[in-house]
Amino acid sequence: MKGAQRDNRRMHQPPPAPSAPSPAPSPSVSDSESPAPPPAKTARRDPLHGLTLEMLLVELQAYFGWEGLADRIEIRCFYSDPSIASSLKFLRKTPWARAKVESLYLFMLREQERERAQRR
């Protein structure tokens, strides 16, 4: 019985003291005029940030072609009647395939950077 009384006492603790009120926002600056917060550091370093899967796929297809994509990533949507629509449908449902496409896109970006560096 004593254990139950101790538990009961713990449950009836007084509420925490209220914290200091936060200062009211300045009336001269509206929400629409306030400057946007700077982008997160990870967003600046992530080359995939802001790109859709469709954008990646279109660029990869333009760079490698369907045959090149099928050679690098063995998935049926790249070598059997390939299209952007069918590939997107498959890649959106298949995380491992999407990860391979994203990895190939990053590889393509590195290759393009090397090509630009060699031309200089």
Residue 77 to residues 26, 36, 58, 100: CA-CA distances in angstroms? 56, 41, 14, 13
pTM value surpassing 0.85 = no
Give the pLDDT score at 30: 47
Place of tokens 């006492």: 9
Architecture of the domain made up of 50-119 = Orthogonal Bundle (1.10)
Mean of the pLDDT values across residues 73-86? Answer: 94
| Mean pLDDT across the chain | 80
24-68 pLDDT tens trace: 555 554 445 556 556 556 557 888 999 999 999 999 999 999 999
**Does pLDDT of 82 surpass 80?**
yes
Residue boundaries of the structural domains of the chain: 50-119
Better-scored residue on pLDDT, 1 or 112: 112
